[in-house]
Chains A and B, each alone.
Chain A
Amino acid sequence: MPHDGVPDVRVAGLRKSYGDVVAVDTIDLEIAPGEFFTMLGPSGSGKTTTLRMIAGFETPDEGTIELAGEDVSSLPPYDRPVNTVFQDYALFPHMTVQDNVEYGLMVKKVKKGERRQRAQAALEMVRLGGYGSRKPAQLSGGQRQRVALARAIVNRPKVLLLDEPLGALDLKLRQEMQIELKSIQREVGITFVYVTHDQEEALTMSDRLAVFNEGRIEQVGPPAEVYEHPQSEFIAGFVGVSNVIEGNGRRYTVRPEKINLVEDGREPRQGWHVEPGVVSDVQYVGPVTRYHVKLDRGGDLQVLSQNLQEGSSEVLETMGRRIRVEWRREQESTIDEPEGGTE
């Protein structure tokens, strides 16, 4: 835990099943105040169900949920100090943008003047100052997304829950919103719990992230740690590409950008591991090239190399050639250490 004291969210032994399907299988989590925490995983991994249990939309079969030290497990959603940004935004179509944002304050009987003012401020924060009188149907997807954010933040919740909020936006808008969301989070200082299946989103935005798989959390940590030192083959594959190598009685992974292609004839460097192989595929993607290398002793590796000097034709010529790949020993990250491993 990066923070002492009472966590904003504490989830202990959380379990939820639908019939025979276990959606969430005994999850423990602690999220510190002010943290941008991401729950990352493929669909059906239990991340959204966990979020919905924190919000109060689903009742856990087992386990407890604490918000700022208070057990809220049995409270309905309207009594929990959290707000949610929904995947489909869930804006009220019959209300104006202003009324949508004011809804939470109206329910809490905040005076009309203050309500107006706070809703205006929230709309300005998401750069929609002049849009208060419009209806949601008159807004673009990105604008609706920001109204949904304003509608949640205006209530100053202890924790803001975001359920794939950028999922419906196109790539460019999504990247802009990632930066905006992050800066809004810094500005308001609210704890964000963010659900996504997009590993890049998780890596760029989070202070810490939890990787979900089949209802369980496989790893929790800061993005760099999870990326550089994945603890399982699943994480290696889901957060990046798997590049799993077996040798000396252990399995380990090396990130593709840490691997060099070595031209024939050059002497291997001290402390670097070298493997011979054949280039089985080359993908030229502008600034970088992705090589697929078939190792002589079995297994495939992906190698990512910046196109500093090479043009596309030179790069594509390497297709089918015999090469050697090398990486520094420190870049190896052991996964699934077998019982009593020999290393």
Chain B
Amino acid sequence: MPVIWIAGIYFGSLCVLLLSAFWDTNPFTAEVVHELTLDNFRTIFERNVYRDVAWRTIRMAALVTVADAVLAFPIAYYMARVASPRTRNILVVAVLMPLWANYLVKAYAWRTMLSDGGVINWALAPLGLHFDGYSTVGLWLVFTYLWLPFMILPIYAGLERIPNSLLEASADLGGRSLRTFTRVVLPLAFPAVVAGSIFTFSLTLGDYIAPGLITSEQFIGTVIYSIRGEALPVAAAYSLVPIVVMVVYLLVARRLRAFESL
């Protein structure tokens, strides 16, 4: 039974989405005309604004992923291989805690912090600096914060799975800490990093609330949200862009054995 529900509701609506990408719009009334056409795809491929927004979104997703991986790895490493069991438990809870708070609350909190009168500019003011928080960089910070737990947890699990004896074997064969890290720990933890990146990348790609709160720049999600009223078929066609990007991303991730570490 649940299988039927998932198939019907989830895949059914995806199919409707796919189908509506091929519908036409009456140019005068903006009403949807149920006639099959490829015009919507022509629009999103040929109009520069759609292309630019898509690239900006993909770039943002990539930068957020890189930042999260760089931040998460040392934290996960400390949790998995350095901390005492007690400290480890505290840290796991600390990493999970932000996930219990509502996403909107966190985004609004960041909006307040990033404002001209916010805590970030208050801290920078004595140094004579000013940070334009409502910018692409500000959004990058917000996304990096929001999705960080999704990167830490898979890497933590991946690092914890590496048997201690492998690290001992490397040391036994003459490998110092740095060599052991680059030759043994990093290659073995890499699939876990890719697994984490699936979350950070896809969540950034599809988000439409944080960009609207933090910047006036357009991203795939915000564009779809704003044109869905007057040009539903174009919005549907545009929504296939992140879907296709994610399918490619998942195929690459599978090649890198990311799914074995989830």
**Quick check: is A298 within 8 A (CB to CB) of the other chain?**
no
Q: Which residues of B contact A76 (CB under 8 A)?
A: 171
Q: Which of A38-46, A84-92, A289-297 contacts B (4 or more CB under 8 A)?
A: A84-92
Contact check, B187 vs A78: say whether CB atoms are below 8 A apart: no
State which of B168, B179, B187 has its C-beta within 8 Å of the C-beta of A107: B179
**Quick check: is A191 within 8 A (CB to CB) of the other chain?**
no
Contact check, B171 vs A78: say whether CB atoms are below 8 A apart: yes
Q: Who on chain B is nearest to A83 by CB?
A: B172
**Quick check: is A57 within 8 A (CB to CB) of the other chain?**
yes
**Quick check: is B174 within 8 A (CB to CB) of the other chain?**
yes
**Quick check: is A111 within 8 A (CB to CB) of the other chain?**
no
Q: Name the distance in Å between B190's Cβ and chain A's nearest Cβ.
A: 9
Contact check, B166 vs A107: say whether CB atoms are below 8 A apart: no
Q: Which residues of B contact A55 (CB under 8 A)?
A: 168, 172
**Quick check: is B71 within 8 A (CB to CB) of the other chain?**
no
**Quick check: is B175 within 8 A (CB to CB) of the other chain?**
yes
Given A78-B176, A88-B163, A90-B165, answer yes or no on A103-B188 (Cβ-Cβ < 8 Å). no
Given A93-B188, A94-B187, A94-B188, answer yes or no on A103-B165 (Cβ-Cβ < 8 Å). no
Contact check, A104 vs B165: say whether CB atoms are below 8 A apart: no
Contact check, A104 vs B173: say whether CB atoms are below 8 A apart: yes
Chain A binding surface SS class: loop
Given A94-B188, A107-B179, answer yes or no on A77-B171 (Cβ-Cβ < 8 Å). yes
Tell me, in angstroms, the Cα distance from A94 to B172 when the chains sit together: 18
Contact check, B173 vs A83: say whether CB atoms are below 8 A apart: yes
**Quick check: is B169 within 8 A (CB to CB) of the other chain?**
yes
Q: Which residues of B contact A324 (CB under 8 A)?
A: none
Which residues from 182 to 213 on chain B have a C-beta closer than 8 Å to any C-beta of chain A? Answer: 183-184, 187-188
**Quick check: is A151 within 8 A (CB to CB) of the other chain?**
yes
Which residues from 22 to 61 on chain B have a C-beta closer than 8 Å to any C-beta of chain A? Answer: none
Contact check, A84 vs B172: say whether CB atoms are below 8 A apart: yes
Contact check, B187 vs A155: say whether CB atoms are below 8 A apart: no
Given A90-B163, A93-B188, A94-B187, answer yes or no on A107-B174 (Cβ-Cβ < 8 Å). yes
Q: Who on chain A is nearest to B186 by CB?
A: A94
> Of residues A77, A83, A88, A155, which shows the largest number of chain B Cβ atoms within 10 Å of its Cβ?
A77
Contact check, A108 vs B174: say whether CB atoms are below 8 A apart: yes
Tell me, in angstroms, the Cα distance from A94 to B163 when the chains sit together: 13
**Quick check: is B112 within 8 A (CB to CB) of the other chain?**
no
Tell me, in angstroms, the Cα distance from A83 to B175 when the chains sit together: 12
Q: Who on chain A is nearest to B175 by CB?
A: A107
Q: Name the distance in Å between B49's Cβ and chain A's nearest Cβ.
A: 45
Q: Name the distance in Å between B219's Cβ and chain A's nearest Cβ.
A: 37
Q: Name the distance in Å between B141's Cβ and chain A's nearest Cβ.
A: 34
State which of B168, B175, B184 has its C-beta within 8 Å of the C-beta of A86: B168
Q: Name the distance in Å between B115's Cβ and chain A's nearest Cβ.
A: 47
Q: Which residues of A contact B171 (CB under 8 A)?
A: 56-57, 76-78
Q: Name the distance in Å between A156's Cβ and chain B's nearest Cβ.
A: 12
Contact check, B175 vs A88: say whether CB atoms are below 8 A apart: no
State which of B163, B174, B187 has its C-beta within 8 Å of the C-beta of A104: B174
Q: Name the distance in Å between B255's Cβ and chain A's nearest Cβ.
A: 15
State which of B166, B175, B183 has its C-beta within 8 Å of the C-beta of A90: B166
Give me 11 A-to-B residue pairs in the complex whose CB atoms sit less than 8 angstroms apart, sorted by A's number. A56-B171, A77-B172, A78-B174, A78-B175, A82-B172, A84-B172, A86-B165, A86-B169, A88-B165, A90-B169, A152-B173
For the complex with contacts A84-B168, A84-B172, A92-B170, 17 further pairs of A-B residues with Cβ separation under 8 Å are A55-B168, A56-B171, A77-B168, A78-B173, A78-B175, A78-B176, A86-B168, A87-B165, A90-B169, A93-B188, A94-B187, A94-B188, A103-B173, A104-B173, A107-B174, A107-B175, A108-B174
